[in-house]
Amino acid sequence: MTDRPLVFAANWKMNHGPSEARAFARKFLPLTTPVQGRRLWFFPPAVSIEALAQSLHQRPDIAVGAQNVHWELKGAFTGGISIPMVTEVGARLTLVGHSERRHLFGETDEQVARKTRAALKAGIMPLVCVGETLAERDGGRTEQVIVRQLGSVIQALETEDWEHVALAYEPVWAIGTGKNATPDDAAQIHELIRMELGRHGVTKRVPILYGGSVNAGNVASLLTRPQLDGVLVGGASLDPDKWAELVEQGSRAKVRPSGGYGMVE
């Protein structure tokens, strides 16, 4: 039995300003109830963090996070947002190293490691994303890329830091494309990540999510794999009804005979 939570994480990317975020919360809240061991995480655009965090504050199973933060606390970084700024408005988590940050904005492994360390130091949980491009996959370099991306974070952290870190495996070719990894492919890479963590003495409590074109129709087959502790979802998290349906379908696939997900709370 796992002592890891089951996580459904919504990455809204550049969608839903504050009023849309409030409207989403109003519709979504009555569609789900808290379940032991299950966490619902939302990553809205920075300007919507406060509105969403306030709208969802009565739900202990829900947390709101930033999509990106700077590693410095303040300074001359035009357009940047610091961790104290996002925590002040209600963020308790942050995405780090999402493939759109890495590939569209040129974020490096070293920057990802710095942001991860800064988030931990400031007391918010980083959800660190790793994943290979199609060219890397076709070139047979998937494992090498994952080990390299993960390695830079492992090097930057102390073993005990990992109590407060979550990871997402998101193959870049699967994000927003409608093509998702097969459950077997995803499970294999999750196993590799877990092995790499183990090789560095890292606790088994780190949740590892899968992301890439997950929807209500495919989430159950992915989450029946014990290696997957949840999903990180973009497009299918934007509509409250669809997102609630996805959470419901995914939860059914993972529920244990005890009625919860095995995490001691």
Task: Give catalytic residue positions.
Answer: 98, 170
Residue 223 interacting with ligand PEP (CB under 6 A): no
Tell me if 15 contacts ligand PEP by CB under 6 A: no
* Other Cβ atoms closer than 10 A to 31: 13
* Distance from C-alpha of 69 to C-alpha of 105, rounded to nearest angstrom: 13
- Cβ atoms of residues 37 and 260 within 8 Å: yes
Of the listed pieces 148-156, 170-178, 218-226, 246-254, which binds ligand PEP according to CB under 6 A? 170-178
In sequence order, which residues have a C-beta less than 8 Å from that of residue 54 and are 6 or more positions away?
A: 90
Sole residue written with tokens 């003495």: 201
| Given 6, 181, 214, 216, the residue binding ligand PEP (CB under 6 A) | 214
Q: Which of 25, 209, 223, 232 binds ligand PEP (CB under 6 A)?
A: 232
143 by Cβ neighbours in 10 Å (0-12 / 13-18 / 19+) ranks as middle
For residue 208, state whether it binds ligand PEP (rule: CB under 6 A): no
175 touching ligand PEP, by CB under 6 A: yes
Q: Considering the rule CB under 6 A, would residue 211 count as an interface residue with ligand PEP? A: yes
Q: Nearer to ligand PEP by C-beta: 149 or 161? A: 149
Burial profile 49-67: b = 16 or more Cβ within 10 angstroms, e = fewer: bbbbbbbbeeeebbbbbbb
Contact status: 94 vs ligand PEP (CB under 6 A)? no
Residue closer to ligand PEP (CB basis): 65 or 211: 211
* DSSP classification of residue 5: P
Contact between 200 and 141 under an 8 Å Cβ cutoff? The reply is no
Task: Kindly state whether residue 234 participates in binding ligand PEP, applying the rule CB under 6 A.
Answer: yes
Residues 249, 218, 46: CA angle, nearest 5 degrees: 80
Output 13 or 70, the one with its CB closest to ligand PEP.
13
Applying CB under 6 A, the span of 24-32, 79-87, 105-113, 229-237 interacting with ligand PEP comes to 229-237
Which residue minimizes CB distance to ligand PEP? 234
171 binds ligand PEP (CB under 6 A): no
- Residue 176 sits in the site that holds ligand PEP (CB under 6 A): yes
Q: Is the dihedral of CA 253, 163, 205, 264 positive or negative?
A: negative
Binding footprint of ligand PEP on the chain (CB under 6 A): 11, 13, 170, 175-176, 211-214, 232-236
